[in-house]
Chain A
Amino acid sequence: MDRYIQWVLKRPVFVLVLAALITIGLGMGITRLGFDTSISKFLPETDPEYVYYNKIKKIYGDVDTFVILDISGERLLTPKSFIAMDDLLSDIEFYKTDDPVSDKTRLELFSKILGTDYIDVKSLLAGLSEDPVFSRLVMRKLSAISKGSGVLSSRIKRNLLADVSSSFELRRAHLIDEVISPLNMEDVTGQDDTLLTRRLIDTDNSGKRILPRTPADFENFTKRLTRNPVFKSGIYAANAAGRITDLAFIIRFFDVSDSDAITREILSIVDTYSGRLQILPQGQPVVYVWINNFMQQDLARLVPLVLLIAIIIFFFNFRSIRGVLLPSITLLMGTVWILGLMGFLGFKISTVGISIPILMIAVGSSYGIHILNQYYADFDLISAREKIVGLRISMHHISTTVFLAGFTTVVAFATLCTHQLSAIREWGLFSALGVAFAVLISASVIPAGLALMPHKKDRFLSDRAKQKKASHRSITEMLVRGASTLSLRYPGRTLACVGILIIISLLGISRIQVETELLSFFKPDNYIRTSADQISRKFGGRWGFNILIDSGKADGVKNARFLKTIDEFRGWLTSDKNRDLHIGRTDAFTDYIKTMNMAMNNDDRKFYRVPDSDMDIMDYLEIFSADDEDSDGRIDLFEPYVDPDFRTLNVLARLSEANGHLIGTSALTHIFKRISDHLLQTLPKAYTFKITGHPLMVMKSAGYIVNGQIKSLILTLFVIGFVVFFLLRDFKAALLSLIPMTIAVIINFGLMGWCGIRLDIATSLIAAITIGIGVDDTIHFLNTFKHFRKKGEDTDTAIDHTLCVAGKAIIFTSLALIFGFTALELSTFKPLILFGLLMAYTMVGTTFGALVVLPATIKLTGVRLVRPEITLPGVARSGFLRFFPANPG
């Protein structure tokens, strides 16, 4: 460490330039940083349920997650609305299949028009007027680039061409599996002994939809739409009087984990219809996009805010330009380095990872405070010598302290790299790296900056500073005195009170509930939740899960008895007596068979049921004529509901969040258990079942969070204990070091339990962070205590002196952390708000643990800790007392 500080102080300009260059270089990685809110981050790849879910997605597609566009309004059934809906559908269908020949022609024409000099928006669109879908696409992209209508600049042309080309790449990616809507839906009807497969809206020979225009046309359309029961709450919703109030477009993707770009494209299309149609988008992919947007907004808002808070703390602490500038630069650099590195390495910020930059600033600021405190404490020492020599002595002491504190924090965070969930693993990795960066930058940039800056007393605000510092001293003195009194005069009572608090907290822990459902991140009045409510009321839900029922043999699905069993089960799922299941709607293969049966019986509604004869079902399947694009043996319409062998049938159950009812992890557990129990009791022995889907994965991830929490807690405590033992070479010290953190963690979980704060992906990190940061305070205390004991002081005196020396530094750095975490109260996400609150509370706990509980325990147990101090390589010549900013004398 000493050599490194020497090296830095010898070439401060080089160090600063190098740090700046690395910052610029890594900073470019931030532009590559993406966001990932997918469930895959919260499940281990080897989890059998997750493996099965992915297997099922390959067979049936990503059917449990979809985008739903709810189109409503007073003038819904009018020619104007239908023209707009037709355009909307065409714009979305553009991304379903590509056409290399026409796409080439389109792009060539577009490039040619763009190549014209002095082309304005009107002329550009006029040149594309024969291709309305493409023309609208260009207009959409242009609106995002430029609001003007004049001549297009070269820059606009270049960006427009790039954006349009990206759209064609998206089209070629074939991400949309299916678009279902009243405008393109097919139906089978059988009136007057005539079997007719038709669209709800007919098309002409060129495939163009013949939209209803007259009242009679709309009446005809309404009749077609309402004839088949399967469409109700599927692609249309009606009020109590039976009047159609909403129409729905449902868009299914091939792989929802890669749906961000296409969902954003769909949402941008929807935006362009805001003046023509009243559209409410929802569905899991839409929620993901919204959450990603909120995360970006949170980052853009919270990172500067936490930085500002850190700067304010620096200002009140140091009252000097260097005292504000140097640590602020290190925080900024540390944040840029870690985010840039994540971007370059292709990692994405998860809902957990969003806390990394804020954590880095909060933790990093304490290192800056330590180093500058040391500089000001050693000001006279430096003044008395040649500046660089003085700085070297001063920085050597504190950099070792910072190194020790940083090392233990890195180790604590790094233990999370063993976690089963990739989101937590990545968080552990990058938090550990971030702390390492913060230590490296603080130990480099601040000494280098101090070496270059003139060494003189900051006259600016010096009088006020004296005054304020005096007042600070009095506050910190009071706190330290209080800690000393509690731990030395009333150690038994203090520990008894803490013991009672622990018992109360342990009782609270048993009340903790786990929550991993994304919508729980938002307040009930948030748009994401209110729109989910609306979609649930009208269309049965915005997400669902799969109940796979195996008939036991190939083609077993074509059996009437089997299908009737399925239909009875579907009825049970949505019956009034089972409202606690929150199933808003089910879809299954039987819908097609029932539709065919009704059609074959002259559209008589009483035949909307599974036929009695197996042969009828076989016949219906022979004559049900539809595309099988991938030639897997199932027509495309059946793919979400049967496997290629027609052995297993998938009942897709939508979860309803109507009336603001949030279906969280515990509700999901109840739902899946009830369904499983029912199927176990009622399903014939030849049939088996399995439940899977996104909601099940949400439930599973909760289990991993709880198990991971316990495992990582034990591992982190063990590793930290070992590290402290290694550093201090004292087993008792290692055990003692765990006390403040363990108490803080228990009290934190107890508070969560008693206050009904759920354990989620953000709050689950508190334990690890508490240990990672809390150990710093403990090490400060124990090292200083050992030092005084070694000097021959008795336990009481050593504790008192230790509190005077280490206590102040601990209080100051804790304040920086507490205020830093408090900034999270401005987040959009409930978990982050609670995370910030709990972290601030826990920091108070670790500080109390280090300053009161730890000395009280030492006092009561009589632990001596007088074995020789550890000397790290390069710090052999210095005692630990010298690592601390304040002078005990």
Chain B
Amino acid sequence: MKFRSIFTGFLILIFANSAFALTGLEIMKKSDALPQPDTAKSKIIMRIHKGKRMNEKAFTLLMKQYPNDEDKAIISFSRPTRIKLLTHSHKGRDDDQWLRLSSGRIKRVASSSKGKPFVNSHFYYEDLSSVDIDDYDFKLIGEGKALGAPCYKVEGVKKTGEKVYDHLVFYVRKSDFFVVRIDFYKKGKFHKFLENYDVKKVNGILTPFRMSMKLANGKGRTDLFVVGLKYNADIPDNKFRKEALR
């Protein structure tokens, strides 16, 4: 089972049900079972707030789900550079990635640390990868409010693979099991948190149109604005081939 990546798939919900006495794993399974698109095509504006500066980047994202919980995505930047990043995510092994520079030069990107920022934003590569629910131990640690909604607080601790964070705390909305907030703990400290805003249903799929990854110390944040979105469009497989980067 895969818990869709924060970035590429957005967090998907399922219908609301009474979940009295649910365990942490059961809550996350319900969240994971929310309707998901087979494909997604979106235009995203990324605003990175660091220090006194704000850097804006724009890119389009094509994503397609494949059997065996594998997916492919291509990110094409339109500013400030024109690099493209093609990712083939696999279950149980490292992702394959290719990079195309603005000059047209293509390089395969070997797997490296997932605990590194993506294009100097506050998102780590780990945050962009699909997460397998089976790789985590979940524990219901209480209830609380996030973005004004009553939520379950579920702690997730990664048990296999590279461990970027000590643990995560998911705020799963009681009403629909949609994850509205995630707290990230690193080196024993509350490091950053992600909040999903402007959540709307698109083709029956709950989708946040604004995501904000904020540092816990308040020193910076990265906002993602979805300015165009189409689910389940017909995207040919060859769009995700290395040759398509040219």
Binding site for B on A (CB under 8 A): 97-103, 190, 193-198, 205-206, 600, 613, 615-616, 618-619, 621-623, 625-628, 630-633, 635, 644-645
Would A100 and B188 count as touching, CB distance under 8 A? yes
Collect the chain B residues with CB atoms within 8 Å of residue A622's CB: 77, 80-81, 83, 119-120
CB pairs A–B below 8 angstroms (8 shown): A98-B188, A196-B112, A197-B116, A600-B107, A625-B116, A631-B50, A633-B53, A644-B53
Residues of B70-120 whose CB lies within 8 A of A: 77, 80-83, 99, 101-103, 105-110, 112-113, 116-120
A198 to B111, CA, bound (A): 9
Collect the chain B residues with CB atoms within 8 Å of residue A190's CB: 107
Interface residue tally of chain B, by bracket? Answer: 35 or more
A198 to B122, CA, bound (A): 21
A600 to B55, CA, bound (A): 25
Would B53 and A615 count as touching, CB distance under 8 A? no
B230 on the interface (CB 8 Å rule)? no
Collect the chain A residues with CB atoms within 8 Å of residue B215's CB: 631
* Residue on B nearest A194 in the bound complex, by CB: B108
B197 on the interface (CB 8 Å rule)? no
Collect the chain A residues with CB atoms within 8 Å of residue B81's CB: 615, 618-619, 622
Would B113 and A632 count as touching, CB distance under 8 A? no
Collect the chain A residues with CB atoms within 8 Å of residue B83's CB: 619, 622-623
* Residue on A nearest B49 in the bound complex, by CB: A631
Q: Mark B20-32, 1 if CB is under 8 A from A, else 0.
A: 0000000000000
Q: Which of A197, A205, A625 contacts B117 (CB 8 A)?
A: A625
A449 to B52, CA, bound (A): 70
Q: Which of A100, A195, A644 contacts B189 (CB 8 A)?
A: A100
A645 to B102, CA, bound (A): 23
B161 on the interface (CB 8 Å rule)? yes
A632 with B188, Cβ < 8 A, contacts A194-B107, A195-B110, A205-B163 known:
no
A613 with B187, Cβ < 8 A, contacts A194-B110, A630-B219, A631-B215 known:
no
* Residue on A nearest B111 in the bound complex, by CB: A196
B51 on the interface (CB 8 Å rule)? yes
Q: Which of A615, A621, A633 contacts B51 (CB 8 A)?
A: A633
Q: Which of A100, A623, A631 contacts B99 (CB 8 A)?
A: A623
Would B102 and A198 count as touching, CB distance under 8 A? no
* Residue on A nearest B53 in the bound complex, by CB: A633
Q: Mark B176-197, 1 if CB is under 8 A from A, else 0.
A: 0000000000011100000000
Cβ distance A674 to chain B, nearest Cβ, rounded Å: 35
Cβ distance B53 to chain A, nearest Cβ, rounded Å: 5
Collect the chain B residues with CB atoms within 8 Å of residue A632's CB: 50-51, 219
Cβ distance B133 to chain A, nearest Cβ, rounded Å: 19
Would A193 and B106 count as touching, CB distance under 8 A? yes
Collect the chain B residues with CB atoms within 8 Å of residue A625's CB: 112, 116-118, 120, 125
B162 on the interface (CB 8 Å rule)? yes
A97 to B50, CA, bound (A): 22
A97 with B101, Cβ < 8 A, contacts A193-B106, A206-B163 known:
no
Collect the chain B residues with CB atoms within 8 Å of residue A618's CB: 80-81, 102
Cβ distance A629 to chain B, nearest Cβ, rounded Å: 9
A325 to B215, CA, bound (A): 68
Collect the chain A residues with CB atoms within 8 Å of residue B80's CB: 618, 622
Collect the chain A residues with CB atoms within 8 Å of residue B35's CB: none
Would A631 and B220 count as touching, CB distance under 8 A? yes
Collect the chain B residues with CB atoms within 8 Å of residue A205's CB: 161-163
A334 to B108, CA, bound (A): 75
Collect the chain B residues with CB atoms within 8 Å of residue A206's CB: 163
* Residue on B nearest A633 in the bound complex, by CB: B50
A257 to B82, CA, bound (A): 45
Q: Which of A97, A101, A619, A635 contacts B120 (CB 8 A)?
A: A635
Would A101 and B103 count as touching, CB distance under 8 A? no
Collect the chain A residues with CB atoms within 8 Å of residue B163's CB: 205-206
Cβ distance A321 to chain B, nearest Cβ, rounded Å: 66
Q: Which of B101, B116, B162 contacts A619 (CB 8 A)?
A: B101
A645 to B51, CA, bound (A): 9
Would B112 and A628 count as touching, CB distance under 8 A? no
Collect the chain B residues with CB atoms within 8 Å of residue A644's CB: 50-53
A411 to B83, CA, bound (A): 73
Collect the chain A residues with CB atoms within 8 Å of residue B108's CB: 193-195
Cβ distance A617 to chain B, nearest Cβ, rounded Å: 10
* Known interface pairs A205-B163, A626-B117; 18 further A-B residue pairs with C-beta atoms within 8 A, sorted by A's residue number: A193-B106, A195-B110, A197-B112, A197-B116, A205-B162, A615-B81, A618-B80, A619-B81, A621-B120, A622-B81, A622-B83, A623-B83, A623-B99, A625-B120, A628-B50, A631-B51, A631-B122, A632-B51
Q: Which of A197, A198, A615, A626 contacts B103 (CB 8 A)?
A: A615
Would A600 and B117 count as touching, CB distance under 8 A? no
Would A194 and B220 count as touching, CB distance under 8 A? no
Would A616 and B112 count as touching, CB distance under 8 A? no
A193 to B105, CA, bound (A): 10
Collect the chain A residues with CB atoms within 8 Å of residue B50's CB: 628, 631-633, 644
Listed residue (A190, A625, A644, A645) with the most chain B CB atoms within 10 angstroms of its CB: A625
* Residue on A nearest B221 in the bound complex, by CB: A631
A195 with B107, Cβ < 8 A, contacts A622-B119, A632-B51, A633-B50 known:
yes
Lowest 5 CB-CB distances: which A-B pairs, in order?
A631-B220, A101-B188, A99-B188, A196-B110, A633-B50
* Residue on B nearest A205 in the bound complex, by CB: B162
Collect the chain A residues with CB atoms within 8 Å of residue B55's CB: 633
Would B99 and A195 count as touching, CB distance under 8 A? yes
Cβ distance B193 to chain A, nearest Cβ, rounded Å: 14
Cβ distance B29 to chain A, nearest Cβ, rounded Å: 25
A33 to B106, CA, bound (A): 63
Collect the chain B residues with CB atoms within 8 Å of residue A100's CB: 188-189
